Amino acid sequence: MMSDNSATPSNESSQPNSEKPSRNPLEKLVVWGAIAIGLIIVGIEARAKLGYDLTLSGLANKMKEIDESGNDSQSLTYESAQSYLKFGPVVSEEQPEGNLRKSRTLEWFSLAKEYKMKLILDDDGTLLFVETSDPPPEPEPEMIPESDEDDDGMVEPAESGTPPGGEVAEQEEPETESPAKDE
């Protein structure tokens, strides 16, 4: 007679270990520390870029609005332009010697890129223009709908040789004879 113990496997060996071993606390600290540092760097860069972009677009829109109004008495002073400064740039004033105009440099702290613009002012504090290190954005090209119509209203055939009806007649390729090989 066989014993019951040998016929049935034990419960301990049939169940896989469902608990994973916990990670080393030092490893957890290093991983979470790296994640925190990465998030801080991304936050600093996002704040600088967003502040720079919002300030530049706000000033550009206001200056464009003033130019389009045609009202010479309306101008943008530095005091009124301060409301367009976003996310606290560091402002430094430059008082040049001679005929040069005074300016204020705005700079946002960043680890990877320099976000800086210079506001050029006249003697009474009116903003004349903004200098940036970035090139001005290129105007978007106007979207002209494509048309197959010619100036006289006639439809031109497609460039691929397709007739206006859209069907292509099959063409037979001429047969070419290959030179006979001498054996």
User: Distance between CA 103 and CA 94 in Å, rounded?
Assistant: 5
pLDDT of residue 49: 94
Half-sphere exposure of 137 (CA within 13 A, CB side): 7
Half-sphere exposure of 99 (CA within 13 A, CB side): 0
Specify if 112 maps to a domain. yes
Q: Kind of pairing, strands 103-108 and 115-121?
A: antiparallel
Specify if 147 maps to a domain. no
Specify if 167 maps to a domain. no
Specify if 69 maps to a domain. yes
Specify if 151 maps to a domain. no
Pick from 107, 117, 121: nearest CA to 79: 121
Burial group, residue 23, by CB count within 10 angstroms (0-12, 13-18, 19+): exposed
Specify if 55 maps to a domain. yes
Assigned token pair, 34: 């790296």
pLDDT of residue 71: 76
> Which value, in Å, is the radius of gyration of the alpha carbons in the chain?
37
Distance between first and last Cα of the chain? 88
Structural domains in the chain (count): 1
Q: Which residues of the chain carry a pLDDT beneath 70?
A: 1-18, 72, 99, 135-140, 142-183
69 phi and psi angles, rounded to 5 deg: -70, -25
Query: Could you give the residue ranges of the DSSP H alpha helices within 20-118?
Result: 25-69, 78-81
pLDDT of residue 152: 57
Specify if 153 maps to a domain. no
pLDDT of residue 12: 52
* Residue-wise pLDDT tens digits, 108-154: 999 999 999 999 988 888 888 888 877 666 666 766 666 555 555 55
Specify if 83 maps to a domain. yes
Q: Which domain holds residue 50?
A: 25-132
Contact 84, 72 (CB under 8 A): no
